[in-house]
């Protein structure tokens, strides 16, 4: 039982360590469903103590902000904060007025039903999934007229009263995704949003808030995340009166959605997580949630993959690919993925997207010869696809110019010479399932890298008339539906989500993909900061990370092979360099590092992550993974310092009284490793730049 009744019309959603208490503060025609508590788990008999039955009055007189504590503050009545729900009824009537109707309770789920007499039914859903409280909203038009929806968020969360408020989030750009930002939450409304039609590189749909006192290992942290892969908006409002609330949902400012009589709309879930133990504990709880409730194959070991993109760019040919496959297999690679350039007339980024058959000049016998060779070398086979896109210079576009997002009489702006196919259309979805599924069957494919390389522009859907803005929802749902159908038809198929790098990383896409590509930037040093931001919410096992060439093609930075490996080994290891140019010595070193990775792969992919120390990519830093009886520490020192850098790294989350043994047979108590630390040669010998190492410990007693 995760949903407990704690009063006449009050409930608690309880997890092992926290409680979220909510209910009806005021009934009748101006009903208010509010949050009373979101904090550490209280004894069951104490839960009722946090329920405040009398309506709270902040101020009397002309300002009475009633929406402060509400689960879904509407636009209507005496409310002036950020509305989570905005509706325009027939005749331009805009004030939503909700009356509580009933509560429908199941074991770990509850729906609170409210109705607006103008015909809108609003369901507030709350469900518990491990430490996370999942919430979403269902709307049904029970009236006789269509209603127009503005903002429809999945829910608003109140951050309990504290002396201060600080937020942590990630922001970035192409090649610089998921950079951690941390600052005091300003009084006012802080909005993070994507208007691109995808999750975007610019921000990721989550926020963490603490009282300004949390550290990596200590302190209460409240996190809110949205499980959605299209445009989104998350607003944290800190009122001058002191309250802080976070509301999040799909869509962004501008588009409005028409709900016809009899129709319903369900929002994606917004997820709330309260933890103690600092940002580290928050991240570990999110990873646990991802593994238990989100990822389709969380406990499968990700294969070491090879991807040919940076080796060949668009210059993809049968013989060249077979040569790369031979070299990759020799290193211990288990999955060979052919990237862009294998299909239609695709010899550069100007043509071919949409024509998903092997390029007859490059693969005169189709892909069979290549994939037969890949299999003979003992590897699995994967292909890059970009199913949501079309180049105007393609047979597909010449045949179906109406399939793309467009408005009559407006330009069709291209980006990277391509347009976006409208996945809201059933014919587009059927076409996609047809050829994607056909490729899997014909070649026995094991893996797709599903890319999405541009933002929406002129996002029209002429056939949908007044409902055209629904595109912002229906495109993403269409993509989800195609992915779901593919997985259903081909249960052994594994899928990587990519969007010009890390433009589509979120709990919505992770429900139907196995890995995500976090950035096109494969420079090991830049990657460290990107990986750190990624790790705040998402688990290492789903993070595809490649070792590429030096100097790096994107930054021209030269980084030793071991450092590049150690950075990529912090996730699902892949190799993406031009192996025909690696020396025999480099190939030998790579072979032994691949073997070393495989030996600890479950620890990294499924283990508990501790970000131990340092500013990744800038100063000496280390990450630790613990799983069953093993502990892996990856330590990095990018820059030599004349001044002595720290010598020891203190480990975390060990059993204090147990003994841990290194590969060399040295033993320490867990408490020693946590309090005194482990001495790292990488850290205390100065120079040269870019030193790294992996330390593996095994628990031998206790």
Residue among 339 and 526 whose Cβ is closer to ligand GLA:
339
Measured CA to CA in angstroms, residue 330 lies from 144, 308, 590 at distances of: 68, 15, 10
Rounded to whole angstroms, the Cα distance separating 21 from 38 reads 6
Closest CB to ligand GLA among 517 and 683?
517
Q: Which is nearer to ligand GLA, 156 or 418 (CB)?
A: 418
Q: The tokens of 151 are what?
A: 């903002």
**In the complex, what is the shortest distance from the CB of residue 311 to ligand GLA, in angstroms, rounded to a whole number?**
12
Q: How many residues bind ligand GLA (CB under 6 A)?
A: 11
Burial class of residue 366 in the structure, from the number of CB atoms within 10 Å of its CB (0-12 exposed, 13-18 middle, 19+ buried): middle
CB of 313 to ligand GLA, least distance (A): 8
One of 31, 35, 453, 552 touching ligand GLA (CB under 6 A): 453
Question: What pairs with residue 693 in β-bridges?
Answer: 635
- Shortest separation between residue 450's beta carbon and ligand GLA, angstroms: 10
- Decide: is 520 part of the binding site for ligand GLA (CB under 6 A): yes
Question: Residue 20 to residues 24, 38, 285, 439, 523: CA-CA distances in angstroms?
Answer: 14, 4, 16, 47, 42
Cα angle for residues 11, 17, 23 (degrees, 5° grid): 15
Is 25 a binding residue for ligand GLA by CB under 6 A? The answer is no
Asked if 496 touches ligand GLA (CB under 6 A), the answer is no
Q: Which of 334, 340, 388, 532 binds ligand GLA (CB under 6 A)?
A: 340
Per CB under 6 A, 528 contacts ligand GLA: no
- Decide: is 286 part of the binding site for ligand GLA (CB under 6 A): no
| φ/ψ bin of 398: left (φ > 0), alpha (ψ from -120 to 50), beta (otherwise) | alpha
Q: How far is CA 670 from CA 276, 648, 667, 673, 699, in A?
A: 22, 15, 9, 5, 9
State which of positions 102-161 bind ligand GLA (CB under 6 A). Answer: none
Instruction: Lay out the site mask for ligand GLA across 379-408 (x = CB under 6 A, - = otherwise).
Output: -----x------------------------
Catalytic residue among 520, 523, 526, 549: 520
Q: Say whether residue 549 binds ligand GLA (CB under 6 A).
A: no
Asked if 196 touches ligand GLA (CB under 6 A), the answer is: no
520 counts as catalytic: yes
**CA-closest candidate to residue 482, choices 444, 518, 519, 452:** 452
Torsion, Cα of 149, 155, 161, 163 (10° steps): -80
Helix (H) or strand (E) holding 236, with range, is strand 232-238
Q: Is 578 a catalytic residue?
A: no
User: Does the footprint of ligand GLA cover residue 460 (CB under 6 A)?
Assistant: no
Name 699's bridge partners. Answer: 660
SS3 488: helix
Catalytic member of 69, 451, 523, 549: 451
Stretch that binds ligand GLA, among 189-197, 469-477, 493-501, 652-660 (CB under 6 A): 493-501
How far, in Å, CA of 596 to CA of 662, rounded? 14
Decide: is 199 part of the binding site for ligand GLA (CB under 6 A). no
- If the CB atoms of residues 453 and 682 are measured against ligand GLA, the closer one turns out to be 453
By CB under 6 A, tell whether 355 contacts ligand GLA: no
Q: How many residues does the chain have?
A: 702
**In whole angstroms, how close is the CB of 501 to ligand GLA at the nearest point?**
5
Does position 309 bind ligand GLA by CB under 6 A? yes
Instruction: Provide the minimum distance between the beta carbon of 224 and ligand GLA in the complex, in angstroms, as a whole number.
Output: 28
CB of 412 to ligand GLA, least distance (A): 20
Q: Is 577 an interacting residue with respect to ligand GLA (CB under 6 A)?
A: no
In 3D, which of 568, 562, 582, 561 has the Cα closest to residue 521? Answer: 568
Q: Which of 451, 506, 523, 526 touches ligand GLA (CB under 6 A)?
A: 451
To the nearest whole angstrom, how small is the minimum distance from the Cβ of residue 688 to ligand GLA? 31
The DSSP secondary structure of 299-350, one letter per residue, reads TSPPPPEEE-HHHHTT---HHHHHHHHHHHHHHT--EEEE-SSSBTT-SSTT
CA 286 vs. chain centroid, Å, equals 11
Task: By CB under 6 A, tell whether 498 contacts ligand GLA.
Answer: yes
Q: What is the DSSP letter of 89?
A: B
Q: How far is the CB of 540 from ligand GLA (least distance, A)?
A: 19
Residue number with the shortest CB distance to ligand GLA? 340
Q: Which region among 121-129, 212-220, 240-248, 496-504 touches ligand GLA (by CB under 6 A)?
A: 496-504
Q: Which residues are part of the catalytic machinery?
A: 451, 520
Q: Residues in the site for ligand GLA, rule: CB under 6 A?
A: 309, 339-340, 384, 451, 453, 498, 500-501, 517, 520
């Amino acid at each position: 039982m995760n949903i407990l009744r704690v009063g006449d019309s009050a409930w608690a959603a309880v997890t092992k360590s926290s409680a979220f208490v909510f209910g009806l503060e005021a009934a009748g025609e101006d009903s208010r469903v509010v949050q009373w508590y979101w904090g550490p788990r209280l004894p069951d008999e104490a839960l009722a103590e946090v329920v405040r039955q009398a309506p709270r009055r902040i101020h009397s007189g002309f300002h009475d902000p009633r929406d402060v504590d509400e689960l879904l503050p509407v636009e209507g009545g005496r409310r002036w904060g950020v509305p989570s729900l905005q509706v325009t009824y027939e005749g331009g009537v805009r004030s939503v007025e909700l009356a509580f109707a009933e509560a429908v309770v199941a074991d770990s789920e509850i729906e609170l039903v409210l109705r607006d007499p103008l015909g809108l039914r609003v369901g507030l859903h709350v469900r518990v999934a491990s430490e996370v409280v999942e919430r979403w909203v269902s709307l049904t038009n029970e009236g006789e007229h269509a209603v127009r929806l503005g903002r429809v968020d999945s829910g608003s969360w109140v951050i309990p009263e504290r002396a201060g408020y600080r937020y942590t989030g990630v922001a970035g750009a192409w090649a610089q995704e998921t950079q951690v930002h941390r600052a005091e939450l300003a009084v006012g409304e802080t909005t993070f949003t994507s208007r691109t039609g995808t999750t975007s590189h610019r921000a990721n749909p989550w926020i963490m808030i603490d009282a300004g006192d949390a550290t990596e290992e200590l302190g209460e942290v409240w996190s809110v995340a949205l499980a959605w892969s299209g445009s989104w908006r998350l607003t944290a409002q800190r009122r001058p009166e002191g309250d802080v609330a976070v509301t999040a949902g799909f869509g962004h400012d501008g588009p409005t959605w028409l709900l016809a009589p009899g129709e319903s709309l369900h929002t994606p879930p917004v997820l709330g997580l309260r933890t103690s133990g600092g940002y580290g504990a928050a991240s570990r709880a999110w990873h646990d949630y991802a593994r238990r409730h989100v990822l389709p194959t969380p406990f499968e070991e990700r294969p070491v993959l090879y991807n040919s993109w940076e080796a060949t760019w668009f210059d993809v040919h049968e013989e060249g690919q077979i040569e790369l496959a031979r070299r990759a297999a020799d290193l211990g690679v288990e999955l060979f993925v052919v990237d862009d350039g294998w299909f239609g007339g695709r010899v550069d980024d100007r043509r071919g997207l949409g024509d998903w058959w092997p390029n007859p000049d490059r693969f005169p016998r189709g892909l069979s010869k290549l994939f037969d060779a890949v299999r003979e070398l003992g590897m699995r086979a994967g292909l890059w696809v970009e199913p949501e896109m079309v180049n105007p210079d393609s047979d597909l576009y010449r045949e179906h110019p109406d399939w793309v997002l467009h408005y009559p009489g407006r330009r069709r702006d291209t980006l990277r010479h391509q347009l976006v196919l409208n996945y809201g259309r059933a014919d587009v979805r059927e076409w996609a399932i047809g050829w994607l599924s056909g490729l899997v069957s014909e070649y026995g494919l094991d893996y797709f890298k599903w890319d999405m390389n541009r933002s929406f522009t002129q996002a029209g859907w002429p056939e949908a008339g007044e409902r055209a803005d629904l595109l912002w929802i229906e495109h993403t749902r269409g993509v989800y539906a195609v992915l779901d159908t593919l997985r259903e038809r081909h249960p052994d198929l594994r899928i990587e989500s990519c969007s010009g790098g890390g433009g589509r990383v979120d709990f919505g896409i992770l429900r139907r993909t196995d890995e995500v590509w976090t950035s096109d930037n494969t420079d090991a040093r830049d990657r460290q900061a990107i990986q750190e931001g990624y790790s705040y919410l998402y688990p290492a096992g789903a993070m595809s990370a490649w070792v590429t060439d030096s100097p790096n093609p994107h930054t021209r930075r030269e980084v030793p092979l071991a450092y590049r490996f150690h950075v990529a080994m912090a996730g699902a290891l892949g190799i993406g360099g031009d192996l025909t140019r690696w020396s025999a010595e480099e190939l030998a070193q790579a072979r032994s590092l691949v073997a070393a990775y495989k030996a600890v792969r479950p620890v990294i992919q499924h283990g508990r992550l501790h970000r131990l120390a340092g500013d990744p990519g800038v100063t000496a830093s280390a990450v630790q993974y613990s799983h069953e009886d093993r502990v892996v520490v990856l330590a990095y020192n990018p820059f030599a310092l004349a001044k002595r850098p720290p010598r020891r790294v203190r480990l975390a989350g060990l059993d204090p009284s147990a003994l841990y043994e290194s590969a060399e047979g040295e033993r320490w108590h867990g408490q020693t490793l946590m309090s005194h630390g482990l001495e790292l040669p990488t850290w205390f010998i100065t120079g040269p730049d870019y030193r790294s190492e992996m330390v593996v410990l095994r628990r031998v007693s206790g």
